Amino acid sequence: MTVEAHSPLIRKLSAFVALSEAELGVLDRLHRRRRTFVAGRDMVHQGQSDQAAYILSSGWVCSYKIQADGTRQIVDFQIPGDFLGLRSVLLRTSDHSFEPIVNIEAAEVLTSDLLDAFAQTPRLATAILWAASRDEAMVVEHLVGIGRRDADARMAHFLLELGSRLALVGMGSKKGYDCPLTQYHLADALGLSAVHVNRVLRQLRESDLVTFRDGRVTFHDYGGLVDVAEFDPAYLDQTGPLLK
């Protein structure tokens, strides 16, 4: 098996930079401290200091903040190839918590590992900065959306964005994707009640746009859903390597 085939991060960064053999080797070494975490138990707590970052290699994670009023805002979901807590390792104190949604595998990355990797290949530093920038663009898109989009458009946008991200790492297409999220995850991410999530999903299904059922998102009318969401994937920047 080639390195690319077993690392979603390498697939993802390849969308930004045409990686050399040497760079692939450096990335591979970043994956050497393999860890597993069980579903439902926080791996990093909001306010926790001095923890490592992780590269998610299989499974799904959500990052969230608990507000002063006790409600939970899911900031983002992480899928294979995403960093967990890259911010936290650099900022020393985590500004949110991470909870695995299913059992996951992840590689632990220390600040010193990052420095070593960057010293060996500055293009990799740029590629990781690209990935962090893309994550920030998604969070902005997502949180601005909560304030401005109606519930149907918000859900449609969310399902399309996840689909694009999964497609980049070979786990989805314009037909659909497997998705372990519950209605409670969707509710906490989109700022809706679970009952409202249910109603919105039924409407989208009855309009023959998309079905989310039994852990599978199936697009029936991808273009129609793009229209409902006013989804413009430019901010995901998946058009091919910028750095040759």
User: How many angstroms from the chain centroid is the CA of residue 154?
Assistant: 17
Q: How far is the CB of 36 from its own copies (least distance, A)?
A: 26
Question: With binding defined as CB under 8 A, does residue 151 bind its own copies?
Answer: no
Cα-based angle 224, 230, 232 (whole degrees, multiple of 5): 105
Question: Can you tell me which of 3, 110, 143, 151 binds its own copies, judged by CB under 8 A?
Answer: 143
Q: If we measure between CA atoms, which residue out of 153, 47, 35 comes closest to residue 100?
A: 35
Place of tokens 């995850």: 185
Largest CA distance in the chain: 54
Question: Can you tell me which of 4, 28, 105, 135 binds its own copies, judged by CB under 8 A?
Answer: 135
Residues 17-36 that bind its own copies (CB under 8 A): none
Which CB atom, from 16 or from 212, has the smaller least distance to its own copies?
16
Question: With binding defined as CB under 8 A, does residue 126 bind its own copies?
Answer: yes
Q: Which residues pair with 99 in a beta bridge?
A: 62
- What ranges in 92-229 are assigned the alpha helix state H? 111-120, 122-148, 151-168, 183-190, 194-206, 222-229
Distances (CA, A) of 172 to 95, 145, 165, 223: 30, 23, 8, 16
Question: With binding defined as CB under 8 A, does residue 148 bind its own copies?
Answer: yes
Which CB atom, from 110 or from 194, has the smaller least distance to its own copies?
110
Site string for its own copies, 154-193 (x = CB under 8 A): -------------------------------------x--
Question: With binding defined as CB under 8 A, does residue 239 bind its own copies?
Answer: yes
Q: How far is the CB of 184 from its own copies (least distance, A)?
A: 17
Structure tokens at 71: 């409600």
SS3 64: strand
Q: If we measure between CA atoms, which residue out of 167, 185, 165 comes closest to residue 175?
A: 167
Question: Can you tell me which of 42, 95, 178, 227 binds its own copies, judged by CB under 8 A?
Answer: 95
Site string for its own copies, 209-228 (x = CB under 8 A): --------------------
Rounded distance, CA 134 to CA 238, Å? 10
* Site size for its own copies (CB under 8 A): 52
| Contacts to its own copies by CB under 8 A | 16, 47, 65, 67-69, 71, 73, 75, 86-87, 90-93, 95-96, 111, 114-115, 118-119, 122-123, 125-126, 128-130, 132-137, 139-141, 143-144, 146-149, 191, 230, 234-235, 237, 239, 242-243
